[in-house]
Amino acid sequence: MKSKTSLPAVFISPSMIVLAVLAFVPTVFAINIAFQDKQLSSEDSHYVGLANFIALFSDRRFLNSIVVSLTWEVMTVVATMCIAVLLGILMFEAASARMRNILSVVFLIPVLMPRVSAAFVWKFAFHPLFGLAVYPYKAITGQPLDLLANPSTALATVAFVDVWQWSLFFSVIILHLLESLPHEPLEAAELDHARTWERYAYVALPMLKIPLISLTFVKMIESLRSFDLIYVMTRGGPGIKTETLDMYAFSQGFIESGNISYASSMAVLMMVATTIAFTALWKRVHA
């Protein structure tokens, strides 16, 4: 083999240059705008130092949106992983090979649907008057049930749609992971009269520790993308009960005030927080 070839440089450089330009230019711009008082409506702007960031920390809507975002993140990640593991195990235990093939296609439908579509489908299903999902409740109690307008259920209802999209998809991955395990340890546990749940809790799942952590990591990243669902289903409402950080940044920058700089300072804080958190997590997992 010729040890000197131009291939790696020729093949890698263009991609890295394109990605670096596309990622760094907006990032630098975002930081730059965050220190100004730029409005969507006017051309000129001035540097205002840290004013935007200082204002953020006395902005109750901003603090609310942090709480909403964190709640969303915990709810969707935990529910997705629990349901996916449980459903993956149930399929592994009870479904025939043919059934598994069918299910691993069927369970991809929700995640492949555009989030806007999923949001609409469920918004209509939860419609208090004509919705299919709330129909049984209505038929039994005679009362309408408006989950999306109720401050205490709205966020969980939107989160349900996210979990619907991701947990079924992840359960297919977990099924494939279980299928890839060697049979001997599970059979040995069975011979030792381990109960079904013990075989999974103490044998199978610990063997899948690393892929399960990676899946959780992926879901944590994807859960940051709550905007589409919330935008279509509640627009942050009722009140600000479902207003996540990206929803609030969007409404500050575009809907209400056109305050691009203020929105940008929020975006910069989000960027810093997610980059630090996920880089630290990644380094820990891959250490």
Partner 1 sequence: MSSRGRGKWVAKSAVALAAAIAVIPALWTLLNAFKNRVDLVTPTPLLIFHPTLDNILYVLGRESVTAGLINSILVSGASVLIGMVLGLPAAYAVARYPIKRADDIQFFVLSLRFLPPVAVAIPLMVIWLDLGLYDSRVALIATYTLLTLSSIIWLAVPAFKRVPKEVEEAAKVDGYGPYAIFFLIALPVASRSLIGAVAFSFVLVWNEFLIALMLTTSDAKTLPIVASELTQLGRDVPWGILNASVILLSLPPLLFIGILSGFLNSVIKKKA
Which tokens hold the place of 91?
A: 């399929």
- Three-state DSSP at 36 gives strand
CB 144 → partner 1: shortest distance, Å? 10
CB of 147 to partner 1, least distance (A): 15
Within residues 194-223, the interface with partner 1 by CB under 8 A covers: 196, 221
Stretch that binds partner 1, among 58-66, 147-155, 186-194, 273-281 (CB under 8 A): 273-281
Contacting residue, 115, 162, 215, 234, with partner 1 by CB under 8 A:
115
Q: Which of residues 136-155 bind partner 1 (CB under 8 A)?
A: 138-139
Location of structure tokens 């099924």: 175
Q: In this structure, what token pair is assigned to residue 80?
A: 């997705």
User: Out of 97, 129, 191, 287, which residue is the one contacting partner 1 (CB under 8 A)?
Assistant: 129
Between the two ends of the chain, the Cα-to-Cα distance in Å is 33
**The only residue of 177, 186, 212, 215 in contact with partner 1, by rule CB under 8 A:** 177
d(CA 36, CA 43): 12
* CB nearer to partner 1: pick between 137 and 152: 137
Q: Which of 79, 204, 215, 263 binds partner 1 (CB under 8 A)?
A: 263
Cβ count within 10 A of residue 208: 18
CB within 8 Å of 53: residues ≥ 6 apart:
34, 265, 269
Based on the shown chain and the rule CB under 8 A, indicate whether residue 11 belongs to the binding site for partner 1.
Answer: yes
Q: Pick from 146, 194, 240, 278 the residue near partner 1 by CB under 8 A.
A: 278
Is 287 a binding residue for partner 1 by CB under 8 A? The answer is no
Q: Near partner 1 by CB under 8 A, which window of 60-68, 74-82, 146-154, 177-185?
A: 177-185
Our CB check for partner 1 shows the closer of 51 and 103 to be: 103
Cβ-based nearer residue to partner 1, 105 or 152 = 105
The CA distances from residue 80 to 129, 160, 200, in Å, are: 29, 9, 18
Are the CB atoms for 133 and 126 separated by under 8 Å? yes
- DSSP annotation of 287 reads -
Q: Does 68 bind partner 1 (CB under 8 A)?
A: no
Instruction: Record the tokens describing residue 16, joined without a space.
Output: 């890295």
Q: Considering the complex, what minimum distance in angstroms separates the CB of residue 155 from partner 1?
A: 19
56: Cβ contacts below 8 Å, ≥ 6 apart: 62, 262, 265, 266, 269
